[in-house]
């Protein structure tokens, strides 16, 4: 492994981190030591290195990572993990002493407050330099249905811009916004989310209804799960009876099956407790017609 440091006159000086055969962890440790010594401290004049592991939740196999992070963390090297609540459980199971570090350093990123979500659309108007305008009530409606998730604000906002362009107007008013909502309800606005929706429900109307009942359920929030929201199967049973949804227990497994998503995951802390893998997908289901 090679660390390159460019001098003031363009002269390259190199340092090599020792590779240890059949020992990836020790090789990586040597690599980090070389990075900190020659790049971070000498060249960048910084105190240490922060390694950011983004989208940690999409990593299917996290086995050994808790131990790896524990063994590599030092006063010079720190790790930051961006993921969801279940990731914390996976790491603690992998290395019990990691729990102390998580308790000391966990930062819960909550859904975006309304003023900040509105600012996303304000920024879009600014970038268009007066060539595009969102009506204020439309902005507020977009923020409301997006529930503090900026990615969904951006998705709906972009669809509104496209719809306005197709209608040869530079104003996103209620008519344009309702047309976008109509596209979402009919499954033509967001192909990726619609594909996930169709995989989840298959050909079962009962499963489709169950998915919507779960998506509409009032969220039960805790410190590390507020960004997703827990749902309880027992709360859906009464609604399922009211809507004549049969075979609830037979329709649930597909929503948990990795071959079809999965769109839900079990919470190991109790029986019949689940959460949506993707909170934006949950919002999409709420807007989707059935």
C-alpha 216/C-alpha 131 separation (Å) is 37
Instruction: Calculate what percentage of the chain has a pLDDT beyond 90.
Output: 40
Q: Do residues 169 and 88 share a domain?
A: no
Question: What range does the domain containing 6 cover?
Answer: 2-105
For residue 264, which phi and psi values (nearest 5 degrees)?
-125, 155
- Residue 93 and residue 10 in one domain: yes
Q: Which of 168, 185, 202 is the last residue of a domain?
A: 185
Q: Please give the DSSP secondary-structure letter assigned to residue 220.
A: B
Map residue 85 onto helix, strand or coil: helix
What does the alpha-carbon distance between residue 196 and residue 238 come to, in Å, rounded to a whole number? 26
Residues 179 and 197 in one domain: no
Q: Are residues 197 and 177 in the same domain?
A: no
Are 6 and 98 contained in the same domain?
Answer: yes
Beta strand ranges found along 190-290 (DSSP E): 230-232, 264-266, 273-276
What value does the mean pLDDT take over residues 241-263? 84
**Measured distance CA(119)–CA(138) in Å, rounded:** 13
DSSP per residue, 100-136: HHHHHH----PPPPHHHHHHHHHHHHHHTTTS-EE-H
- 57 shares a domain with 137: no
Is the same domain home to 128 and 145? Answer: yes
**pLDDT, average across residues 43-64:** 81
What pLDDT score does 9 carry?
A: 46
Give 255's Cβ-side CA count (13 Å radius).
Answer: 30
The whole-angstrom separation of Cα 29 and Cα 264 is: 37
**Residue bearing the bigger pLDDT, 139 or 268:** 139
Residue 49 shares a structural domain with residue 119: no
Q: What is the pLDDT of residues 82-139, one digit of tens each?
A: 776 565 666 656 555 666 666 566 777 788 999 999 999 999 999 999 899 999 999 9
Cβ contacts of 123 within 8 Å, gap of 6 or more? none
Residues 95 and 122 placed together within one structural domain of the fold:
no
Cα(276)–Cα(88) distance, integer angstroms = 16
CATH of the domain at 131: 1.10.8.60
Q: Encoding tokens for residue 211?
A: 């998915």
Both 166 and 139 in a single domain?
Answer: yes
Mean pLDDT of the chain: 82
Per-residue pLDDT tens over the stretch 135-170: 999 999 999 999 999 999 999 999 999 999 999 999
Dist CA 265 CA 262 (whole Å) = 7
What's the pTM? 0.75
Considering the domain architecture, whether residues 13 and 51 belong to the same structural domain is answered as yes
Peptide bond into 23 cis (omega under 30): no
At a CB cut-off of 8 Å and minimum separation 6, what does 8 contact?
Answer: none
Residues 151 and 97 in one domain: no
Overall domain count for the chain:
3
Higher-confidence residue of 6 and 92: namely 92
- List, as one string, the DSSP characters of 148-214: T-HHHHHHHHHHHHHHHHHTT-SEE-HHHHHHHHHHHHTT-S-HHHHHHHHHHHTT-HHHHHHHHHH
End-of-domain residue from the set 185, 206, 237: 185
The last residue of one of the domains, among 105, 132, 167, is 105
């Amino acid at each position: 492994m090679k660390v390159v440091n460019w001098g003031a006159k363009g002269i390259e000086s190199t340092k090599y981190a020792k590779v240890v055969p059949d020992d990836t962890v020790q090789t990586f440790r040597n690599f980090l030591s070389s990075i900190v010594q020659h790049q971070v401290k000498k060249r960048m004049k910084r105190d240490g290195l922060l390694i950011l592991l983004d989208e940690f939740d999409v990593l299917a196999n996290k086995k050994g990572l808790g131990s790896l992070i524990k063994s590599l963390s030092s006063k010079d090297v720190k790790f930051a993990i961006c993921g969801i609540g279940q990731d914390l459980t996976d790491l603690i199971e992998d290395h019990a002493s990691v729990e102390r570090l998580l308790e000391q350093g966990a930062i819960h990123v909550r859904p975006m407050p309304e003023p900040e979500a509105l600012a996303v659309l304000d920024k879009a108007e600014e970038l268009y330099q007066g060539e595009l305008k969102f009506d204020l009530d439309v902005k507020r409606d977009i923020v409301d249905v997006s529930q503090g998730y900026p990615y969904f604000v951006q998705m709906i906002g972009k669809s509104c811009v496209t719809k306005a362009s197709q209608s040869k107007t530079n104003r996103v008013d209620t008519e344009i916004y309702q047309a976008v909502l109509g596209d979402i309800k009919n499954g033509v606005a967001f192909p990726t989310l619609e594909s996930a929706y169709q995989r989840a429900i298959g050909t079962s109307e009962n499963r489709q209804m169950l998915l919507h009942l779960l998506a509409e359920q009032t969220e039960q929030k805790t410190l590390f799960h507020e960004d997703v929201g827990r749902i309880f199967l027992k709360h859906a049973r009464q609604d399922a009876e009211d809507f004549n949804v049969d075979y609830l227990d037979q329709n649930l497994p597909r929503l948990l099956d990795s071959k079809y998503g999965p769109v839900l995951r079990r919470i190991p802390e109790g029986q019949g407790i689940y959460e949506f893998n993707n909170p934006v997908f949950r919002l999409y289901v709420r807007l989707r017609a059935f």
